Structure 1
């Protein structure tokens, strides 16, 4: 059976796990190597290294935002076009996406390198942190084209019905990074620059792997020369659908900056380092949820395009139940092992105490995040960009930013930690309302 045809015919439960498990494994390993990176930096470079990486993190989020603008937008369109049995346009979307990625990488790299130091200073890099942050970010930006290609086109591999290969792409990248990090930091004494170099090399291998696949006989869709020329209607469609994850990541960057300034004010550089650890642990715990979300996306998109709405509903329901269960397990794990987890990154007792408290409070509503992520992703999968954008921005901007600015005035550093769960609760309620209306309109409830 053609991989894309299976999306509309195989049993939903079997299909969802076939797509989700590779995505979960790939994303878990991907998140794990970010955690391992931080452990190596924290123990090999020290607290200054952790703070430098955290300060530079918003720049990486902005880069990822532009990658998602193209990668997620294109992959969603590909799923829908395959559901409509329109393979020619799916290939045209793939070709346009590659061209846009290359143009974007060049523009972003030049702009980033030209204005890097003032950007880092604006992000809160103090004199003792600036040199490390600058070295790390220069290397990451210089090799960003590999990140854009690997990330952007790997989404399309999954969308065309090949989740195992998409997983393998991430496993290869993560494995190389995990091997090279200790070699460069400890063996070759390259410090924080070694961590960045390991990341770029691993992304380069991933990019070459993905390009090789689309030029091979194994792929359903092919990169064809005639489709590399951008077509206005396709570029606009990619941008429109990709706008929600783009703004989500952009908002995450802005939130991180606001967080960093608030943390510096109420807890100093140590609080920034603690937040860096908390973010990486949270990312690791949420990767299974994101994997289920990615696994469900092509199934929902294909069946929505084929007007098989009951299959859309069944996919959504099973994905929400699985994501909520995983989130609950993560919540229990955090509440029991909070301080032990922070201690893996650095042995400073003050950092462990601060980070443990932050981790426990910030993820106190983790069980409901699974529902919110899957439900918001549904609107992305069916091409309803405005709904997806609103639900995404409700947490990241409309609720979270005001909470970060308001609560510390009353509760100090604890108020910063509390902002996250308050935003989680409010956005979950709003997402539930919109999803209920949507499912009623499809007449599946």
Structure 2
């Protein structure tokens, strides 16, 4: 078996050029993914405000239940990228390439296992979580319609995450971009067909999503198999699973804290009414759209740092981190004015209801203050995950996204009866402080790397 390295090696050449080559397709893919989600929200809006609120609540619950498998993309990249770097310096000898295949097989097996676990968790916990998020009796059935279908098709999500992580480790972010782009346009066609043409309503939105995600997973696995000239077979090798879980579970738990933090935020906003939940959710989606270039850069940083750690080019790891922060600063200079001044226009695309629109605009304008802090956090976490040091991001995530905001916001909203807007200022302050801590820690860990020597 020979490793067919069609993408340029990330261990040689300009780090900046590699960042541009990888991050642009990754960012475009994330743009398509976010537009995909916004398309769902848009069509739900045509079904009425109740459907929009139900979809917003169901989306939070779905990703809470799925979050245990969301770290599989980061875990796959963390384990495979160093093997790619090692295979490159060994001249793609059999031992190096067979390791890549073994990891891909076990990532695939783990993705299947996580999808089953997500469905089982959903069978018991979905409805109580929907109610806990503040869904009124007229909204709860709509949220559950969406959840049952998406949970049943969760294997499409987990398999596509794993395959995308493996391709990213190989230096290929274009294939996932292509899949997400085609998925967006397919969703734009299937949503009206299923939702209105077949009269399925919210169920139609969910069915379109599941159909597209399963097709995406099959496409990415096919690309991966052809690129490496291998046959992918799900594997359940416990020693490899243990090593993989050490990367996947902290990354998943970090994602889980994001979802749980959002879950708590939505629950507290729900005290003010479902329309405010919908406004915050749409505003959050729009913010994520503006942050996508930084998240695309995050993917590039993880792949470049991982391959160079495997090849023993540790100086390039430090260079990768430094240049990612400079590129991120340029992104912030462009995005912050858009986030502040154009937020009313952007919110107006999704709703005419003042309560929904005003909440989204307020959130976007306040959280613009923390835009660059998010960038620093993303790149710090990417480098630490590439170094196979995922525990600190997890601990910081628990504090930043869950414990500290939950305590402060509970005191402000429930005990002191502060207005909803105080929660948004809490988010900004916590993110800024966390970004400083993450930056200092990441710089320290990079400085501890030997001048030469591959990651074990």
Instruction: Answer whether TM exceeds 0.5 for this pair.
Output: yes
Deviation at 1:141, TM superposition (A): 0.8
Is the counterpart of residue 236 in structure 1 residue 208 in structure 2? no
Alignment correspondent of 1:118? 128
1:21-78: per-residue Cα shift (whole Å, max 9, x none)? 1101111111111122212212x12221221122112322234422223232122100
Q: Tell me the distance in 1 between the aligned counterparts of 2:30 and 2:345.
A: 23
Moved more, 146-155 or 118-127: 118-127
Q: 2:61 aligns with which of 59, 62, 67?
A: 59
Per the alignment, residue 352 of structure 1 pairs with: 357
Tell me what 1:171 maps to.
181
Which moves more between the two structures, 319-328 or 415-424?
319-328
Partner of 2:35: 32
Q: Distance in 2 between matches of 1:387 and 1:103?
A: 26
Paired residue for 2:74?
72
C-alpha change, 1:221 and 1:421, in structure 2 (3 Å) is farther
- Superposition deviation, residue 3 in structure 1: 4.2
Aligned 8 A contact 2:175 2:220 in 1: no
Residue segments in structure 1 that go unaligned for 5+ positions in a row: none
Is the 8 Å Cα contact of residues 407 and 419 (structure 1) preserved in structure 2? no
Corresponding residue for residue 424 of structure 1: 431
Q: Give the SS at the match of 1:364.
A: helix
Task: Select the residue among 294, 312, 326 that pairs with 2:317.
Answer: 312
- Cα-to-partner distance string for 1:283-327 (whole Å, 9 max, x where unaligned): 211111111100121110010122211211221122222222213
Partner of 1:310, secondary structure, is helix
Per the alignment, do residues 103 and 2 of structure 1 end up closer, same or farther by CA in structure 2, a change over 3 Å counting?
closer
**Scaled by the length of structure 1, what TM-score is found?**
0.92
2-side partners of 1:4 and 1:306: how far apart?
16
Are 1:259 and 2:265 an aligned pair?
yes
The partner residue of 2:207 within 185, 193, 197 is 197
- Give CA-to-partner distance per residue, 1:121-161, whole Å, 9 cap, x none: 23332211101001111111111111111122111112122
Q: Report the Cα offset of residue 212 of structure 1.
A: 2.0
1:184 to 2:194 alignment: yes
CA contact (8 A) 1:320 1:375 kept: no
Q: Distance in 1 between matches of 2:241 and 2:262?
A: 29
Does residue 411 of structure 2 align to residue 411 of structure 1?
no
- In 1: Cα distance, 2:152 partner to 2:81 partner: 32
For the residues of structure 1 that align with 2:190 and 2:278, how far apart are their CA atoms? 23
- Residue aligning to 1:383: 388
Q: Aligned partners of 1:335, 1:438: CA distance in 2, in Å?
A: 35
Give 1:110 shift: 3.4
- Structure 1 position 413, deviation (Å): 0.7
Q: 1:374 Cα deviation (Å)? A: 0.7
Compared CA separation, residues 74 and 221, structure 1 to 2 (3 A): farther
Comparing 131-140 and 82-91, the one that deviates more: 82-91
1:250 corresponds to which of 256, 272, 276: 256
Supply the distance in 1 between the matched residues of 2:339 and 2:8 (Cα, whole angstroms): 41
* CA deviation string 1:179-214 (max 9, x = no partner): 222333344433222211111111121012122223
Q: Is the 8 A contact 1:328 1:366 kept in 2?
A: no
Aligned to 1:363: 368
Point out where structure 2 has 5 or more consecutive residues left out of the alignment: 88-95, 452-456
Deviation at 1:443, TM superposition (A): 7.3
CA contact (8 A) 1:65 1:245 kept: no
Runs ≥4 in structure 1, deviation > 6 angstroms?
none
2: CA distance, partners of 1:131 / 1:334: 34
**1:88 maps to 2:98:** yes
The superposition leaves residues 204-240 of structure 1 with CA deviations (integer Å, 9 ceiling, x where unpaired) of 2101212222343xx1263444xx4322221111111
The number of equivalent residue pairs is: 438
Separation in structure 2 between the aligned mates of residue 312 and residue 36 of structure 1, nearest angstrom: 38
Q: Distance in 2 between matches of 1:63 and 1:83?
A: 34
Q: What CA RMSD, in Å, does the superposition of the two structures yield over aligned residues?
A: 2.0
Q: Distance in 2 between matches of 1:360 and 1:336?
A: 8
